[in-house]
Amino acid sequence: PDGSIEIPVVVNVLYRTTAQNISLAQIQSQIDILEEDYNAGNSEYGSVPALFSGVKASVGIHFSLKNVVRKYSNKTSWSAVTENMKSTAQGGLDPTTPDSVLNIWVVNYINYGGSEVLGYAQFPGGDPDTDGVVIGYRYFGNTGTVVSPFNLGRTATHEVGHYLNLRHIWGDATCGNDFVGDTPQHNTYNFGCPSYPHYSTCSGSPVEMTMNYMDYTDDACMYMFTAGQRDRMLATFTSGGGREGF
Ligand code: ARG
Ligand code: ZN
Ligand code: CA
């Protein structure tokens, strides 16, 4: 792939209150943010520290809104384990042609182990019936019902990274491996908005790339992918990569 990939997006909105039935403007704002963040079009791209300017990258994947599907539900919470939001028979909505469409479900609350998560994604190669990304309505797009500090649409940017096979930058372990060569080792996740430079205590004490979309920092403080992450994502569109349907 040469970076000319187009991803049609279907947004499945499950709402109980009218506020949760988010506006088309809010939905489109999220598509626009994905388009910017995956194409070095975000306003912060030029603010990437010089230490990382050689590895920052435009991924070259484009996003377009194909359809919005809306459905009322009396549920106040949706489980990330049972995944009923992805099943019409269970009160949710079945995905639309998941081999060739990115399905996003926007729900009122995602329960995982008794706590809320902002969003989650299925990696490539999984069950088509549950393929896609789920995001809470307060963390989707940058207008309408969004709540600071997750009000700039970066939850979707992060989750689509997982959907395209990216791991967390800390490798989900202390000084873990994210299978990307040009991202530094991180001790663990970072929250908030770390001041630069933030040093890792992993081997060699590298400066952590806290502004990477695959960390856990606030939306305003994550604004880059690397070339290695780009290559790992683009590999999913090749034969056997799990996203070859696009
Ligand atoms: N997967 C993370 C979660 O479980 C989402 C982190 C998104 N971070 C952000 N700044 N929007 O909640
Ligand atoms: Zn994540
Ligand atoms: Ca790495």
User: What are the tens digits of pLDDT across the range 73-119?
Assistant: 999 999 999 999 999 999 999 999 999 999 999 999 999 999 999 99
| CA pair distance 181, 128, nearest whole angstrom | 30
What pLDDT digit, counting tens, does each position of 129-139 carry?
A: 999 999 999 99
What SS3 class is residue 28? helix
168 Cβ contact partners less than 8 Å away, ≥ 6 residues apart: 178, 189, 214, 215, 216
Amino acid symbol at 193: C
Most informative mutation of 107, 111, 117, 118 for ligand 1 (most atoms within 8 A of CB): 118
Of 74, 76, 103, 79, the residue nearest 91 (C-alpha): 74
What is the overall mean pLDDT for the chain? Answer: 97
What pLDDT digit, counting tens, does each position of 31-84 carry?
A: 999 999 999 999 999 999 999 999 999 999 999 999 999 999 999 999 999 999
Q: How far is the CA of 210 from the centre of ligand 3 (A)?
A: 13
Q: How far is the CA of 25 from the centre of ligand 1 (A)?
A: 22
Token output for 58? 């435009």
pLDDT for 164 beyond 80:
yes
Of 184, 185, 186, 182, the residue nearest 228 (C-alpha): 182
Count of C-beta atoms within a 10 Å radius of residue 68: 16
Task: Tell me the H-state helices in the chain.
Answer: 24-37, 154-163, 227-235
pLDDT for 3 beyond 70:
no
Catalytic site residue from 6, 44, 116, 159: 159
Q: Is the CB of residue 215 below 6 angstroms from any atom belonging to ligand 1?
A: no
What percent of the chain shows pLDDT beyond 70? 99
pTM above 0.95?
yes
Output helix, strand, coil percentages for the chain, rounded to the nearest 5: 20, 20, 55
Give the pLDDT score at 162: 99
**What is the mean predicted confidence (pLDDT) over 161-179?**
98
Ligand found nearest the CA of 134: 1
Q: Is the CB of residue 154 below 6 angstroms from any atom belonging to ligand 1?
A: yes
**What is the mean predicted confidence (pLDDT) over 197-206?**
97
Give the pLDDT score at 4: 84
Shortest-distance atom of ligand 1 to CA 216? 8
Report the alpha-carbon angle 120-161-153, nearest 5. 70
Of 102, 98, 78, 99, the residue nearest 90 (C-alpha): 78
| CA pair distance 92, 106, nearest whole angstrom | 11
Q: Is the CB of residue 166 below 6 angstroms from any atom belonging to ligand 1?
A: no
pLDDT for 2 beyond 60:
no
Give the pLDDT score at 1: 42
Q: Is the CB of residue 150 below 6 angstroms from any atom belonging to ligand 1?
A: yes
Q: Is the CB of residue 243 below 6 angstroms from any atom belonging to ligand 1?
A: no
The reply to whether ipTM tops 0.90 is yes
| CA pair distance 230, 176, nearest whole angstrom | 20
- Asked if 70 and 23 count as a contact pair (C-beta separation under 8 A), the reply is no
Q: Is the CB of residue 37 below 6 angstroms from any atom belonging to ligand 1?
A: no
Ligand found nearest the CA of 216: 1
Known catalytic residue: 159?
yes
